[in-house]
Amino acid sequence: MKKIALFSALTALALSCSKNPFTGKNNLNFVSNSELFPSSFQQYGQFLKENKVITGTADAKRVTDVGIKIKTAAEKWLKANGYDQYLEGYQWEYKLVDSKDVNAWCMPGGKIVVYTGILPITQNEAGLATVMGHEVSHALANHGAQRMSAAQLQQIGAAGVAVAAGTKSEQTQQILMQAYGIGSTVGVMLPFSRSHESEADQIGLTLMAIAGYNPQEAITFWQRMSAKSGGQAPPEFMSTHPSDATRIANIKKMIPQAKAEAAKFGVTFK
């Protein structure tokens, strides 16, 4: 029965890849937006009830204004590339939340939160556009659904190891399962997450450029972020995010493409 279940799961895997317009890649995705968005919206609403949302301030207005510009840039790009219906079901919201955490995030379906703790580092609209463009890009590239799908696949792999080790001693089974857990996390899941970060950087740079923000400003933002962290981060191979140095180097390489995309919409930079 385990072998049958494993075969069924692998068959589902083969049928669960779809091309993402922003990345051009065929992405693993077991979860549809119609399944994911209602849960995302409910969790977002619950979060807002349990935290202090800042309204009526210049910072709150800036978050909304930048968010709308990024959303509009995404709509322009999608329409120009023949994906008019891609954002169907999205319900955009942009909220500034009182927190010392240096963070921002976007849930599937366009639900965005920026923490006040990151504003001293963003400093200006371009810095905020760097952050919000990046976070929105995670949602546009369906990274949340992909991570959920990858976690399911990791469980399928664990089931396969369990089947293969079924005739071994209990101690050998434990060793094999532990090795699989470490190997699949360090060798697959963490690089998978780091690739998502790089994809979100590239898409985010393009969106902020189309929205009228010079993508060159992303470098200075990440330099400020690096200075804030003081280099206190785990080794890159043990992290879900690339190191600051790697990210900045990659962004420098991505900027010409972002500017070229923006130029298609009549937006140019000196």
Could you read off the pLDDT of 211-232 as tens digits, one per residue? 999 999 999 999 998 888 765 5
pTM: 0.74
Give residues with Cβ within 8 angstroms of 83, minimum separation 6: 21
207 belongs to a structural domain: yes
270 belongs to a structural domain: no
Average pLDDT over the chain, rounded to whole? 77
The pLDDT score that the predictor gives to residue 194 is 57
Give residues with Cβ within 8 angstroms of 152, minimum separation 6: 30
208 belongs to a structural domain: yes
pLDDT in tens, 163-198: 444 455 555 445 333 433 333 333 333 343 657 788
222 belongs to a structural domain: yes
148 pLDDT above the threshold of 70? no
The pLDDT score that the predictor gives to residue 29 is 58
Question: What percent of the chain has a predicted confidence (pLDDT) above 70?
Answer: 67
92 belongs to a structural domain: yes
Which of the residues are catalytic? Answer: 135
State the residue for tokens 């089931």.
159
pLDDT in tens, 109-128: 899 999 999 999 999 999 99
269 belongs to a structural domain: no
Instruction: Write out the residue range of the structural domain in which residue 236 sits.
Output: 2-263
268 belongs to a structural domain: no
How many domains would you assign to the chain? Answer: 1
Q: How confident is the model at residue 20 (pLDDT cuts 50, 70, 90)?
A: confident
